[in-house]
Amino acid sequence: MREVWLVIKEQLINYSIIFRMSKYEDKATYQSHYLGLLWQIFNPLIQVGIYYMVFGLGVNGGNKIDGVPYILWMIIGISTWFFINGSVFGASNSIYRQVGLVAKMKFPISILPSVSIVSNLTSYVWMTIIVVISLIKFGVSPSLYWLQYIYYFIAMICFLFAFGILNATITTLVRDYHIMLQSLFRVLFYVSGPIWNIENRNLPNTLVRLLKLNPFYYLINGFRDTFLSKAWFWEKGNYTLIFWLMLLIILTVGAHLHLKFRAKFMDYV
């Protein structure tokens, strides 16, 4: 736990650097585009439109899911998935991509995954605003359940950081890992629930229960429970406990590997 605390402490001490670097990263990414940072909104909206036409109107036939219009059900899940996907891949490649620039400086390398996560927040915030506007337009009123959005948001950030520090370290040590992660996430996209309701896929109950252990499914389904006023997070006690246990294990392993190898990162680049 000492290693976990050291890594977390570096994030807390350097939070201002994290936000400044993420802001610079956003500007650097879109500085050569005419629409600039507006692409952080347009790009996910275009993808949402495509997924809705293919899966909402095509595969699903415009039918409702659990009494909710598919478009509402989908944008809650897909907005969460876009943030998770962008953060995971940005964080996993962050150390390998920038270690050469900071290796000769007194710089806390562990904050690089956090920079990638924060840089994706702008797009996520706008998508969340669109989700709320869409809910209200379809007649879904705010309720007390919406307060637990804070819980799921904190849980998501914590998991992304834990997963990010682990992935960033392994990617630097074993470059093939990043490619393997991309393949894994292509599969996770279909089984984590952003566009499919795995409970309505005529799958064996054992397989469904196993798929629900996926931490990304827990988060996506949790945000749906929040916005659609379905359930409190403590009503899913077993899945909540498993989620935080997985997070702790990943963070412990990631912090250990990071502190063990970060002095040698340049040797692997």
pLDDT, residue 144, reads 92
Provide the domain count of the chain. 1
pLDDT, residue 94, reads 84
If the chain, 269 residues long, is cut into consecutive pieces of 10 residues, what is the mean pLDDT of each piece? Answer: 88 88 70 57 71 64 74 89 91 80 71 90 88 87 92 96 94 88 89 81 80 92 91 90 96 92 67
pLDDT, residue 57, reads 61
The residue length of the chain stands at 269
Q: Which domain holds residue 7?
A: 2-268
Distance of alpha carbon 165 from alpha carbon 145, whole angstroms: 31
Distance of alpha carbon 188 from alpha carbon 194, whole angstroms: 10
- Whether 103 and 266 have beta carbons less than 8 Å apart is answered as yes
pTM of the predicted protein model: 0.89
pLDDT, residue 156, reads 96
Instruction: Tell me whether residue 237 is exposed, middle or buried, using C-beta atoms within 10 angstroms of its C-beta: 0 to 12, 13 to 18, 19 or more.
Output: exposed
Distance of alpha carbon 188 from alpha carbon 177, whole angstroms: 16
pLDDT, residue 268, reads 56
What tokens were used for 206?
């054992």
pLDDT, residue 69, reads 83
pLDDT, residue 26, reads 65
Interacting residues of 121 by C-beta distance below 8 A, sequence separation 6+:
22, 83
pLDDT, residue 161, reads 95
Residues forming a β-bridge with 68 = 65
Alpha-carbon distance values, 95 to 4, 17, 75, 178, 182 (Å) = 18, 16, 31, 12, 17
User: Which of 121, 123, 131, 161 minimizes the C-alpha distance to 226?
Assistant: 131
Distance of alpha carbon 203 from alpha carbon 194, whole angstroms: 17
